[in-house]
Every structure is written in structure tokens, then in C-alpha cells.
Amino acid sequence: MRVIKIDPYNQEVFNTEMSMTLDGIYEELNCDTFCIVNVDSNNSLYLDDCGLMKANSFFEWDGYPQMLAGYGLIVSHDEEGESHPPTITLEEAMDRVTF
């Protein structure tokens, strides 16, 4: 599935394809645990739950009240909670991220 990945280490935001399984999420985030924050009514940001403990891993999301850390994956979801490609464009995501 297509997702938007935020890489704070290289300061990049890009589209990527991945398997939306737990193992796929852990692999893309390079982590053992993750958390989810809603960025709007349709899209969520999956984050490395331990990202705050890693150096050079911080970024801001316009409209979110605190700094975020670690790799991030933007996905959308439906009423059933199933994951889908994000409804925002790559350009919109790039405009909302500040490293």
C-alpha cells in the first residue's frame, strides 16, 4: 500500500510502498513499538514510540501541538478502522512538516 513516509534523520518526506501489517509497520518505522496520532479527520501518523529517545529525530506537523520524533507514516482509515493510502497529497504533507 502507498503511504507517505517522514524521515527526520535525512529531512525527507516521500511516497513509499509497504505492507500494512504489524511487521511491515515495525520495519518501515525501524522500531519495536509505535503510537498513532490523528493529523485530521481522515489521516493518521504512525510514529516510532521511542523516537523521543533518539538523536536528530524531531519534526513538527503544522497544527499538532507538540514536537514529534522518529520515522512517521501517514495513512488514512475508514469507518471500520481499516488502513488505506493517505487522502492528503505528498505536497500537502511536505507543506505541513518542518524539520
> pLDDT tens across 41-94, in order?
999 999 999 888 888 889 999 999 999 999 999 999 998 989 999 999 999 999
Would the pLDDT of 38 be above 90?
yes
Question: Which of 55, 46, 52 is closest to 86 using CA atoms?
Answer: 46
Could you give phi then psi for residue 53, rounded to 5 degrees? -90, 0
Could you give phi then psi for residue 56, rounded to 5 degrees? 55, 35
State how many domains the chain has.
1
- Which pTM value belongs to this model? 0.93
pLDDT score recorded for residue 81? 86
pLDDT score recorded for residue 59? 96
Residue that wins the pLDDT comparison between 55 and 4: 4
Provide the residue range defining the domain that includes 37.
2-98
Helix (H, G, I), strand (E, B) or coil at 56: coil
